[in-house]
Amino acid sequence: MALRKLVAGNWKMHGLSSDLNEIRAIAAAARDFSEIDVVLCVPAILIERAVRTVPGFPIGGQDVHHAEKGAHTGCTSALMLHDAGATLTIVGHSERRDAQRESNEEIKAKAEAALAAGLDVILCVGESLEARGRGDAIATVAGQLGGSLPSVIAGETKLAVAYEPIWAIGTGKIPTIVEIGEMHAAIRDTLRDRYGERGELIRILYGGSVKPSNAAEIFAIADVDGALVGGASLKTVDFMPIVAAASARAAS
Ligand code: PEP
């Protein structure tokens, strides 16, 4: 079944007040593509200003703490993101799994906290270059999903999984079309095993060096229901051709 495509921009640690104009431009351009979902995940401190700048356009965060509140200096809870106007959050990005040593268990708790707070969730998984070299890519991702998928999902569109091979992020390299297809099919199997029919309705995004030049061929792969886009989401001129490619695929 073809799911409504989702193209999410991950601005990472980029974004000042002066970039609100870019968010305004992206939101305005995205209005032409109402048959797909487009969201920008910006730094937590920019969320409220972004929401005020582009009312009605979905703005997301990039991480949440798993606790509702408490003695966690410097952290942001899911309720805080929701309160600031975010509709979604990323959890388990490989940059956080690595730099903040986030475990699957912690990521699962974050995903569950975000869903409970009313946020949609993009849960990231992906193998290292070493794991792919050993032929362990699919087993690695299955292990990450096994440990980090939320126990229960209430609404089918609330959770998305992003397959982001670590070695493809920000490098300009991507897996082959066959490798992406194999991984997305394996993720779909895992989601079906875990959630039954509801697993069919969870969008599986590809992320890692998605660009205007490769977006169309990536969106043509079975079970690629959208993309998580880093560097190319920072500028309207780069992001919109990717959004347009997803839209063209949705219409085909
Ligand atoms: C990301 O960090 O989620 C990502 C996909 O980055 P890039 O598109 O820059 O590879």
One digit per residue, pLDDT tens: the chain, 252 residues?
A: 789 999 999 999 999 999 999 999 999 999 999 999 999 999 999 999 999 999 999 999 999 999 999 999 999 999 999 999 999 999 999 999 888 899 999 999 999 999 999 999 999 999 999 999 999 999 999 999 999 999 988 766 799 999 999 999 999 999 999 999 999 999 999 999 999 999 999 999 999 999 999 999 999 999 999 999 999 999 999 999 999 999 999 887
Token digits of residue 113? 């906290």
- Name the pTM for this structure: 0.97
Q: Is residue 166 lining ligand 1, measured as CB closer than 6 Å?
A: no
Q: How far apart are CA 144 and CA 156, in angstroms?
A: 20
144 pairs with which residues across the strands? Answer: none
Residue 103 backbone phi and psi in degrees, to 5: -90, 165
Task: Report pLDDT for 155.
Answer: 64
Q: What's the distance, Cα to Cα, between the start and end of the chain in Å?
A: 13
Is any atom of ligand 1 closer than 6 Å to the C-beta of 209? yes
88 CA distance to ligand 1 middle (Å):
17
Q: Which residues are catalytic?
A: 93, 164
Is the shortest distance between the CB of 169 and ligand 1 below 6 Å? yes
User: Dihedrals φ, ψ of 171, to 5°?
Assistant: -105, -15
In angstroms, the CA 105 to CA 233 distance is 29
Supply the pLDDT for residue 251.
Answer: 82
